[in-house]
Chain A
Amino acid sequence: MPANTVHAIELRAVDKRYGKAVVVDGIDLQVHRGECFVLIGHNGAGKTTIMKLMLGLTRPSTGQVMVLAEDPASRSFVVRRQALGYLPESVSFYPHMTGLELLDYYAHLKGVPATEVGQRLQQVGLHEAATRRLNTYSKGMRQRLGLAQAILGTPRLLFLDEPTTGLDPLLRRDFYRIISDLRSSGTTVVISSHALNEIEAQADRIAVIKHGRLVACGSLQDLGRQAGFPVRTRLAVAPGSAARVAEQLAAHTRIDRVNDRSIDLLCPENEKMLVLRHIADLGEAVLDISMTAPRLDEIYLHYMNGVQ
């Protein structure tokens, strides 16, 4: 691989049309190596198609897709697929095979040692069901098996399309723990998800897709800033001092809520430090402080409703 390529994935002015329907519309984006890149958007926004373009399963109508510095739809990329892992949105397996047979089959195709199969089954908690046929597996078990096949051979690039749909909270936690472990070994992860609250903690950067277009891309803070979302600061104040503190701060920032023991402030992201200095000047009247960045679901709603 050329040393000068810094991106694991790059999309340049990518369009994907099916007949007259434009599914992906002029998307430019880069996924950096080792990051967790999250695609969010409404149903039918084009997230799955973007993922298929990245996997080389479909070709762009115009524009260019580069994965590990190569066109993923080219014939020469076939061997590079050893470095990929993919869990589709609704994963399908051969129903008459057992979990063990299936994972063994995929491990052979990927050139992964057979010893890893048992480890992966153990890791996703399916070792006891390994010899059962897949048509007896529940949705959650299939999804876990899907993850097990996706992480065979510790891929450098892992694609997860709505990975936790249908999983209970405990399984979701295990799921993200496995993904965290992979990330610490350097795997780049691309996830598409509707589960905004749980994905927020995983994401390094987020791409918001609306009707096939990229409407925003960046870290949670970046997106909040771009959307003009204020940072919420909650101050715990000494009894009886709330009114005085609020009055002093009102000259510098917006007061959202005041009660006897606490004050909520809203300030633009770029004025955060200035407001903090004013708070520091208040001395012992302020007992505690906590700041919260805008949440992903708020940002999502903002972009889905507001931006065309």
Chain B
Amino acid sequence: MIRMLHTIPILATKEVRDGLRNRWVVATILLLGTLALALSFLGSAPVGEIKAGILEVSVVSLTSLSMYLLPLIALMLSFDALVGEFEHGTMLLLLTYPVARWQIIAGKFLGHTTILLVAILLGYGSALGILILVGDGDTTGWQAYSAMMASSLLLGCVFLTIGYLISSLARERAVAVGAAVGTWLMLVVLYDLGLLSALIIDKGEYISEGLFAVLMLANPADAYRLFNFTGFGEVGRLVGATGVGAGFESGLVAPLVAMGLWVVVPFLLAIARFHRREL
């Protein structure tokens, strides 16, 4: 058992090193940081009649940014985690070492999560520092901001495990790339469009508020948005007029459970699939 616990950090350390050597990953993380800072500056302008702290205003813009970029970074890190090693031939050797298959996925998950954590802390943490400075030390809404950072990591974890599942199913790296891009498009972009179209066509006939809530929670990106937009009062009021969460309070627990399931289920499926794969 001690050796088992010892192995995962070894694998994770290598993944952190690999991730930071990947120029695409580094570039996207830098983009995340830059956009976070830019949006925070823009958002720190006067906010009109609604009395909200600048941190809460930033939560709105940064949530939208995270929703698009973090899944992309996570999928870029994870899509070739398994298929890449199979295709490159390094998996053959790795599997002759005293490493269980679940440990390989767990090690990669730990390493990739560390990279995401660093990206979020650097990007959103530095933005937080600047916002507090600009706001003359006003820390109102720090809870919403912190929750946004934590849930962003969770969203990243969701797409990491989806990436591992894709990687365990794909026979070729090229197929995994396509599947990862497709998954990102579907969950982050097209799902909302589809839901919106369905609402317009339905005109409230079949899609009840309850069903709508379930459909929102069923998509991890929307669950993330619900958590941040409706979980904290002031933020909810800010997006109330235009946001997706209008007229519907999900609370904090349901979106977290939904995202938690989106981490656990693909993770377990990826392990099960990986176990069946022969070399």
Contacts and interface: CB of A to CB of B under 8 A. Distances in A.
A109 B279 contact: no
Contact of B278 (A59, A78, A81, A91): A59
A52 B95 CA distance: 11
Interface in B238-279: 278-279
Nearest to A55: B96
A52 to B, nearest CB: 6
Interface string B130-169: 0000000000000000000000000000000000000000
B18 A96 contact: yes
Contact of B93 (A59, A75, A79, A91): A91
A109 B14 CA distance: 11
Nearest to A77: B98
B34 interface: no
A81 B96 contact: yes
B10 A57 contact: no
A113 interface: no
A94 B10 contact: no
A82 B98 contact: yes
Interface residues of B, number: 22
Contacts of A241: none
B278 A111 contact: no
A58 B276 CA distance: 10
A92 B90 contact: yes
Given A90-B89, A109-B7, A78 B21 contact: no
Given A58-B279, A81-B96, A105 B89 contact: no
B89 A75 contact: no
Contacts of A90: 89
B203 interface: no
B95 A57 contact: yes
B99 A78 contact: yes
Nearest to B107: A109
Interface in B1-33: 3, 6-7, 10-11, 14, 18, 21
A265 B264 CA distance: 75
A111 B3 contact: yes
B92 A88 contact: yes
A110 B3 contact: no
Contacts of B10: 105, 108-109
Contacts of A91: 89, 93
Interface in A51-101: 52, 55, 57-59, 75, 78-82, 84, 86, 88, 90-94, 96
A55 B21 CA distance: 32
B90 A94 contact: yes
24 contacts: A55-B96, A57-B92, A57-B278, A57-B279, A58-B278, A59-B278, A78-B98, A80-B98, A81-B96, A81-B97, A81-B98, A88-B89, A88-B92, A90-B89, A91-B89, A93-B90, A94-B90, A96-B18, A96-B21, A109-B7, A109-B99, A110-B97, A110-B98, A111-B6
Interface of B: 3, 6-7, 10-11, 14, 18, 21, 88-90, 92-100, 278-279
Given A55-B96, A92-B89, A110-B97, 16 more contacts: A59-B278, A78-B99, A79-B98, A84-B96, A88-B92, A90-B89, A92-B88, A92-B93, A94-B90, A96-B18, A105-B14, A109-B7, A109-B11, A109-B97, A149-B93, A159-B96
